Amino acid sequence: MEHKTKKAILVVSFGTTFHRTREKTIDRIEREIGEAYPEYAIYRAWTSKMILAKLLRRDGIRIPTVTEAVEAMLADGITELVVQPTHVINGVENDQMKEDVQPYAHRFERVVFGAPLLTSTRDNEEAIRAVMAEFPDLKDTEGLVFMGHGTTHYANAVYAALDYTFKDLGYPHVFLGTVEAYPSLETLLKLVRSFSPEKVVLAPFMVVAGDHAIHDMSSEDEDSWRSQFVQAGFSVECVMKGLGEYPGIRRIYLRHIAEALEG
């Protein structure tokens, strides 16, 4: 009997409880991966236990964990597996994803992992060009401030490196900070003050414009980034657009799949 290879791509995301931003970001990324690799079955897994629990409780929607998705693929007879995260950096979530897949790896004929968004210098530069292509009307006298997530993981260093790379590529008026690590809002306020822009544009540097973008970045709460910049005397505009909405960002994920398959 002839052996038939069954291939699949598992797209692993942190997840979101906001359906509208999910449709524009995670759904869009998965759809474009499916279009680029029609011979592969596309599976989804999310890594945030809090988000998975809330979706199930609130909406009755069950999204598989990485372990559940891998077990489903084995049950479906998948023999070749590509795991592509939509994670921004090689942080805690990415490490955990690999740990969850490894116990099952011997049961597939082949398992490869695609890299997260920001893994190489080329990735950083392409990501910067991808997001800046979406701000064609930004004036040199205006500041663009991106909010990244941030992590205690050493991979957090990529955010400061990216901020530096923005300047290096000719965007002295673009700044990148994080909600939960360094560069912090306090650091950003100092840097932006020294640039003294006419206006500050805030945008999330996360795959989805979800909880952090809505509450920590753009809300009227006095601790939000918007409120803090207003309090510092700046005119502020918020752009509620996740990285997954940028075509150039989605292309980086596709390239990472291609590179994983070549490797």
Domain ranges of the chain: 7-118+246-262, 135-240
Tokens linked to 103: 């116990």
Indicate if 135-240 has the same CATH topology as 7-118+246-262: yes
Q: What angle do the packed helices 247-262 and 121-132 form, to 10 degrees? A: 160
Choosing among 3.30.870.10, 3.40.47.10, 3.40.50.1100, 3.40.50.1400, the CATH entry for 7-118+246-262 is: 3.40.50.1400
Q: What is residue 142's three-state secondary structure?
A: strand
Clarify whether 149 is annotated catalytic: yes
Annotated catalytic residue within 3, 19, 106, 149: 149
Cα separations in angstroms, 199 against 193, 216, 234: 11, 19, 6
Does residue 1 register a pLDDT over 50? no
For 120-146, write each residue's pLDDT tens digit: 999 999 999 999 999 999 999 999 999
Does residue 197 register a pLDDT over 90? yes
**Torsion angles phi and psi, residue 149, rounded to 5:** -80, -55
Residue type, 227: S
Query: Of the candidates 38, 30, 33, which has an alpha carbon nearest to the alpha carbon of residue 7?
Result: 38
Q: What is residue 90's three-state secondary structure?
A: coil
Per-residue pLDDT at 2: 46
Residue type, 92: V
For 84-94, write each residue's pLDDT tens digit: 999 999 999 99
The CATH fold of domain 135-240:
Rossmann fold (3.40.50)
Does residue 220 register a pLDDT over 90? yes
Strands, E, within 100-141: which ranges? Answer: 110-113
